Amino acid sequence: MKINKRGELVLVNKIVGYTAIFFLVFSITQVVYAQEDRALYYSGVNAALNGETDFAFMEFHALLNGHRMSKYYKDALFSAGEYYYSIKDYANAAGSFSKFIENYSEANSLPFAIAYLVKINKIAGTQQIIYDLKRKLIEFMQLSLLFSEFKEYTHESALNMRYKARYFIDKIEIYIDGKLFEEIHF
């Protein structure tokens, strides 16, 4: 240890200085990281609003690859599944939606991710998986229809697609952009 002319410990001052610099650099990188994922997400949303779904997907994909802890990750994952489904890449769509369901079981968009998986599994002909997915849909909404014929839920995705789910006593109807996508009876 070194003591300067004023009797102060130089080593302590250096440690405090280096610690302050470390925390300053760390906090700046966290702000940049948060701004980068936000910029990617909103760039993708704006591209989708302009009809540029390929570019929107690239932005969401970049967010998914570099920002696992982002608050936008969930919406980007759902939109990646939408994009894969739209280009008939059912394997990647199923992977995205399965990961979404596994990690975001309370999300408002969960019934729509399940509906995509039901549709994909109908194409693949895997009946047992369809049965399990239908149970998930029913369990998602423990609802009672005392005074109405159906209960309706809506969602708008980052790819600018509008979803609507109508829960009836014996079935669920899933609409995408006003068109019936899937009707699931139970």
The pLDDT tens digits of the residues spanning 67-89 come to 888 999 999 999 999 999 999 99
Give the pLDDT confidence score for residue 135 in this predicted structure: 81
Query: Where do the domains of the chain lie?
Result: 10-185
Judge whether 65 and 78 are in contact, CB under 8 Å: no
Report the share of the chain in percent with pLDDT over 70: 77
For residue range 143-169, list pLDDT tens digits in order: 555 556 778 889 999 999 999 999 888
Lowest mean pLDDT among 12-16, 94-98, 143-147, 168-172: 143-147
Mean pLDDT score across all residues of the chain: 83
Q: Which DSSP letter does residue 144 get?
A: -
| The overall pTM is greater than 0.85 | no
Q: Which CATH superfamily is domain 10-185 in?
A: Tetratricopeptide repeat domain (1.25.40.10)
Q: How many CB atoms lie under 10 A from the CB of residue 131?
A: 12
Confidence grade of residue 33 (pLDDT, cut at 50, 70, 90): very low
